[in-house]
Structure 1
Amino acid sequence: MKILLIGANGTIGSAVRGELEPRHDIVSAGRKGADVSVDLASPESITAMYRKVGQVDAVVCTAGETYFGPLSGMTPERNELTIRSKLTGQINLVLLGLEHVRDRGSFTLTTGVIMDDPIAGGASAAIAGGAIQAFVRSAAIEMPRGIRINHVSPGVVAESIETYGPYFPGFEPVPAARVALAYRKSVEGAQTGQAYRVY
């Protein structure tokens, strides 16, 4: 399969690439260091990415910026970063990408543990995760041409624990390689409308 992987250079994206690349043709997309440049906050950039890449069998997104900080500091402007990138950015990948995904292809989006298990400073990210989950469940019943859609909800990743560990007291870290298996299940499997939680 030809798979478009957005965020391939991140911690989770790198693990997903390592899991899928032995069996598939991976085209990476991101802000820098990728095969194709894309800014999730810009519908024009997403459209240009799809035009450059052409037809694909699957789209996987492990990217998306969020505001991470206390509710008292979550201004409308800071929250807008999350809305435009993590939330509508991923939704626009689907809306603008439908004609670029082959029959019986798939989309796999990314949410996160915070939508199910809140932490201090995670309200903005939780908004995006919860909304994407609702979108995936609803969109799955209307996807054309047998195209599937799922989302993966990773826990705090072990490889990032030094950076994010203090924000997740008592959470059990999850190896990125285990998270990557959920993306493989979404891409290579047959399910749709699913939430693959890796906590």
Structure 2
Amino acid sequence: MKIVVIGASGTIGKAVSEELGKKHDIICAGRHGSDVQVDITSVESIKNMYKKIGKVDAVVSAAGGAHFGPLAELTPELNEFGIESKLKGQINIVLLGMDNINDGGSFTLTTGIMMDDPIPQGASAAMANGGVKAFVKSAAIEMPRGMRINSVSPNVLIESWDQYGDFFKGFEAVPVSRVALAYKKSVEGAQTGQNYEVY
């Protein structure tokens, strides 16, 4: 299969590209140092990415950010970051990419544990994750031409514990290699409308 991995330079994106690259042709996409440049907060940038890559069998999004901070200090402007990036950015990857996916192809988006297991300072990120999950579940029943759509919900990663561990007190971090297998299941499997939880 020909697969584009968006966010390929990140911890999860690298692991997914490596895992899927064992059997498939991978196009790495991202803001920096990738085969194709893309900013998922920009509709034009997403359109340009699809023009460059042409037809593919699968699109994996391991991209999207959100604001972390106390709820009492969360402003509409700060909250907008997660909406524009993690939520709308990933949804636009699907909406703008339908014509680029071959029959029977798939989209895999990324959510996260915070929507199910809240942490302090994570309300905005949890909102974006939950919105992506709801979109995936609903979109799955309308995907054309035998296409599928799923999401992966990772726990905090062992590889990122030094950076994010203080946010996730009492959580048991998971290895990124285990998270990558959930993306493999989504791309190579047959299920649709799923949110694969790697907790």
TM-score by length of 1: 0.99
The amino acid of 1:82's aligned partner reads G
Letter in 2 for 1:17: S
CA shift at 1:22, angstroms?
1.1
Deviation at 1:72, TM superposition (A): 1.8
| SS of structure 1 residue aligned to 2:33 | coil
Structure 2 equivalent of residue 121 of structure 1: 121
Give, in whole Å, the separation in 2 of the partners of 1:69 and 1:176: 25
Question: Which residue is 1:101 aligned to?
Answer: 101
1:19-168 to 2 correspondences below 5 Å: 19-168=19-168
The residue number in structure 1 matching 2:190 is 190
SS at match of 1:144: coil
Deviations 1:66-95 (A, max 9, x none): 111111221111111110010000000000
Deviation at 1:163, TM superposition (A): 0.6
CA displacement at 1:18 relative to structure 2: 1.1
Hey, what's the Cα distance between the residues in 2 that align with 1:128 and 1:65?
A: 9
Task: Note if 1:171 corresponds to 2:140.
Answer: no
Question: CA separation in 2, counterparts of 1:29 and 1:91?
Answer: 16
> Matches of 2:67 and 2:38 in 1, distance apart?
20
> Percent identity, aligned pairs only?
65
CA-to-aligned-CA distance 1:149-176 (integer Å, 9 cap, x gap): 0000000000000010010001000000
Q: Secondary structure at the match of 2:180?
A: helix
Q: Secondary structure at the match of 1:145?
A: coil
Distance across 2 between alignment mates of 1:74 and 1:42: 23
Provide the aligned C-alpha RMSD in A.
0.5
Question: One-letter code of the match for 2:26?
Answer: I
Unaligned runs of 5+ in 2: none
The Cα of 1:99 is off from its aligned counterpart by 0.2
CA deviations 1:20-44 (Å, max 9, x no partner) are 1010000011000011111111111
Residue 28 of structure 1 aligns to a residue whose secondary structure is strand
TM-score (norm 2): 0.99
Segments of 4+ moved more than 3 angstroms: none
